[in-house]
Each structure stands twice: as structure tokens, then as C-alpha cells.
Structure 1
Amino acid sequence: MTETKILTRQQAVDQVARWHHDGLKVVFTNGCFDIVHLGHIDYLEKARHLGDKLVLGLNTDASVSRIKGPLRPVVNEYARARLMAALSFVDVVTLFDEPTPKELIETVRPDILVKGDDYTVDNIVGADFVLANGGSVQTISLVKGYSTTALIERIKNSF
């Protein structure tokens, strides 16, 4: 059952430690993933192919609201977590409520940190920690024309 891929922070840390013990490369990314679309799927699939396992840090509902505004998220955190866990290329989903994923990244200790190419290594939260610990930081090209915010605007403008 995909729900078993949704782990507490400590469970995620323990799982990553087991993978590291087995010599596997762990990729980490994070985001809100509200109203899943092709851009999300493409990005996560590419992220997973950079290593052996993919850990996804998912913003809690409160965190999404702080970042995106009071009308977001559209989809609640449990549903978003289940949707992400249902993807074959996502190995672990863990929630975080902090303003940034910095603490989660430092706790999970991934080998590879990934964000979309709308970021540069200089402004990716946690990049300095991952690089200082022998890991790498990579960006992935985003599919043009896909964003949850744009999708919501299109829906609103259709009425």
C-alpha cells in the first residue's frame, strides 16, 4: 500500500541510513505539489533517475498557506502525500512544517539535492550543507507552461 511510503521524519532518517549502509545514492527534493500536473511528474521522475532512491519533503498545509496564501493548498496534505507516494519513482514522502526544508535536509543527509532550473545552486536551501558533506546539487529543466498557480488562474478565468 502506498501509504507505507509516507514516513515521519525519524522513520525517513532511519530508512535513508539503511539505504546508505547498502551503498545506495539518495536523492532529495521538496515542494508543495498542490494539484499534481505533468510538470510535477516529469520533474520527480527525472530527479529519481539521478540516484537510487528518492525522498520527497512535502510542505504541510500550514506551510503551503504561509508560502502561497490563505486559499492554498487546494489539496490537503494527506491527499498530496498519498498522491506523491503513489508514484513509483518516489520512495519516501515526509512532511515538513518549517519555513524551509533546511532542517529536514540536514537530518536526512541526502547524497544529491535537486530543485527545478528556476533555482541556481546559490539559492537552493540546503545546498551548502549537501556540498560540504560530499554530495551534489543539481537542477532539472522544468516543463514549460505547467505550474499549479497558472492552472488555478486558468480555472478561475474559465468561469
Structure 2
Amino acid sequence: MTTQNIADLCAAHRQEGRSIVFTHGAFDLLHTGHITFLENARTHGDVLVVGVHLDRHIRAYKGRGRPFFPFVDRVRLVGALRIVDAAVECPDSNAVGLVRQIRPDVYVKDNQADVMRGPEAGVVASYGGRICIVPYTPGISTSLIIGRLRDADRTRPVPYT
């Protein structure tokens, strides 16, 4: 879905009286921490829109070898989740442009992010939106999974903890 299409979709939902929730991330190796986060985000409104970052932004942040899955796969996986109403490209290294376009009623991030210092916070505040911080799921992340896979005995399942 293009950013213009998502802006139009959000405007249509808003005209119907629905509130828009927005979040964004890499969603490289989709895991239960992501699902829990998205489920929590969903509880803060009627329509959940998720921005998925481009490969080059993840590489710049996470380093060589990341992401494991290309953008087209990651956005398709996120968009296929029944708790997500729309998944869209996050074209910048942050989500300021998308926040300006869709003007979510609620902007959601986890408590590992310094949301109030992020550039999105000022944009959300400028139009009276709300910022919501949901708990991070400890003990599971893509980076932890990668580390466990590298260290694991390949004959046994890799535990989360």
C-alpha cells in the first residue's frame, strides 16, 4: 500500500468515526514479542496501521547481514496478520513523514524506545494526537533469537529463555 493510499484509507476510517493507531518497526524475524506488541497497540483504537522500515534503514541501524528478510516479505507478513488493518512502507529512517500524512489518533511504541525525544512526538503533539507506550516483552527479540541460533546445538530446539 502506498503512503497516499494509506492516508486516504485513514481519512475514510476517521470519517466513519474510527480512531487510527499507528506504530512502526523492522519486523525482521516475526516473533511472539512482535505479536504481543501489535496486540497491545491494537487495544488503543479501532484501526491499526503499521509502518515497516526499508532494508537500508535496518542495515544502517542493525548492521551488515540485516535484515534477514527483504522489505517486500516483511511488509507482506505484517499485513497478513489479522490484528493489522494495513501495513505500509516507512520510507524514512524515522516515521515522521507517515505520522504527518496519516495523523494517527494514537502513536504507539514500546517502553524500550525513547519516544518522547523522538521526532514523531512533536508531530503527534502538534495536532493533538496521543502517544501511548506499551510494555516491551522481555526475553525475546530478533537479536536474541539470532544469538541463540548461532550458539545453539542444532539437534535441540532453541528456547526463548
Q: So what's the TM-score if we normalise by structure 2?
A: 0.90
Instruction: Show the counterpart of 2:140.
Output: 146
> Which secondary structure state, in structure 2, belongs to the residue aligned with residue 126 of structure 1?
helix
> Which secondary structure state, in structure 2, belongs to the residue aligned with residue 72 of structure 1?
coil
Q: Give yes or no for contact 1:121–1:138 (8 Å, CA) kept in 2.
A: no
Give the 3 Å change call, closer, same or farther, for CA 121–98 of structure 1 in structure 2. closer
1:105 aligned to 2:99? yes
1:17 aligned to 2:11? yes
Instruction: Give RMSD over aligned pairs.
Output: 1.2
The C-alpha deviation readout for 1:68-126, integer Å capped at 9, x for no partner, is: 11210011111111111111110011112312111111111111000001124422431
Q: 1:123 aligns with which of 105, 117, 120?
A: 117
Equivalent pairs: percent with the same residue?
34
Q: Give yes or no for contact 2:49–2:88 (8 Å, CA) kept in 1.
A: yes
> Which secondary structure state, in structure 1, belongs to the residue aligned with residue 104 of structure 2?
coil
Instruction: Show the counterpart of 2:69.
Output: 75
Displacement after TM superposition at 1:155 (Å): 0.8
- Partner letter of residue 154 of structure 1? R
Q: 1:65 aligns with which of 51, 56, 59?
A: 59
The C-alpha deviation readout for 1:125-155, integer Å capped at 9, x for no partner, is: 3112112211100100111101101111111
Count of residue correspondences: 153
Aligned-partner Cα distance in 2 for 1:124–1:40: 20
Aligned-partner Cα distance in 1 for 2:125–2:77: 30
Aligned-partner Cα distance in 2 for 1:97–1:132: 21
> Which secondary structure state, in structure 2, belongs to the residue aligned with residue 139 of structure 1?
strand
Q: Give yes or no for contact 1:62–1:97 (8 Å, CA) kept in 2.
A: no
- Partner letter of residue 56 of structure 1? V
- Partner letter of residue 47 of structure 1? A
> Which secondary structure state, in structure 1, belongs to the residue aligned with residue 83 of structure 2?
coil
Give the 3 Å change call, closer, same or farther, for CA 121–99 of structure 1 in structure 2. closer
Displacement after TM superposition at 1:53 (Å): 0.2
Larger radius of gyration: 2
Q: Give yes or no for contact 2:55–2:67 (8 Å, CA) kept in 1.
A: yes
Q: Which runs of 5+ in 1 are unaligned?
A: 1-6
